[in-house]
Amino acid sequence: MPRKPRLAVFKFASCDGCQLSLLDAEDELLAICDRVEIAHFAEASSDLQPGPYDVALVEGSITTHEDAERIKRVRADSKFLMTIGACATSGGIQSLRNWGQIDEWVQSVYPSPEFIRTLATSTAIADHVLVDFALHGCPINHHQLVDILVALAEGRNPRVPSHSVCLDCKHRGTVCHVVARGIPCLGPVTQSGCGAICPAYDRGCYGCFGPSQPANTASLVSQFRSHGHSTEKLVPLLRSFNAAAPEFQRASEQLVILGPNSEG
């Protein structure tokens, strides 16, 4: 009987939501356990076995010197490393620190700031080590994760949809909020995966699955500005869960350079 692939799950700076998405798979998780050996998963078990691992799932961003070194050890122990969620793939909501003064934030947040040792930035795992596959979302779609793990267990290349949220809106029959209501929406430049939930409930997409590939975010933002949407509204839209994703980051920084404009 062939050996089951050894799976490890690691956490860095994050809220644990993507790991919980795997646990929330319930019956599907039981089926996965028949195909892989879960060797290291602190969220689910205290039985933490050492590497090497065939597959490592990494949640969370790099925000400390210690984690910058730890991710190198995880990479060395792992044949296939996959990042899961916005924190691991783009730095997460905590990457908002990248535009601030970290010393001021530490002083204002912690009662004993002298004990805090942190980096000035929150960065994606791929900024530190080679990543074999990235699964986006905040949180991830656990159906996609299950499909990927099954594919890896069977020796197939993992695949996820790469189209934008706009196509999902068309499939759902959701009226375009940009066209019909003039609401800024990141659906045209956001990767599919959520099922276009927000537009279905009368609000624009805010990009929780990160930029689609390719994503002409600068053109979309220019279009929003031409319709009178202010920089003050558009920058927070881009600086959310995937604020440091390069496509969103460049667009938001360009908006700051252009300065405020008035709404129509």
pTM summary value: 0.92
Query: Which three-class secondary structure state does DSSP give residue 145?
Result: helix
The length of the chain in residues reads: 264
Sorted by where each begins, the domain ranges of the chain are 6-153, 165-258
Given a contact cutoff of 8 angstroms between Cβ atoms, the answer to whether 248 and 242 are in contact is yes
Cis omega before residue 139 (within 30°)? yes
Question: Which of 209, 224, 225 is CA-nearest to residue 179?
Answer: 224
Question: Which of 45, 92, 101 is CA-nearest to residue 67?
Answer: 92
Q: Tens place of pLDDT for every residue, the chain, 264 residues? A: 568 899 999 999 999 999 999 888 878 888 888 889 999 999 999 999 999 999 999 999 999 999 999 999 999 999 999 999 999 999 999 999 999 999 998 999 999 999 999 999 999 999 999 999 999 999 999 999 999 999 998 889 999 998 999 999 999 999 999 999 999 999 999 999 999 999 999 999 999 999 998 889 999 999 999 999 999 999 999 999 999 999 999 999 999 998 876 443
Give the integer Cα–Cα distance in Å for 146 and 211: 22
Given a contact cutoff of 8 angstroms between Cβ atoms, the answer to whether 12 and 61 are in contact is yes
CATH classification for the domain delimited by 6-153, as one of 3.40.50.1860, 3.40.50.700, 3.40.50.300, 3.30.70.270: 3.40.50.700
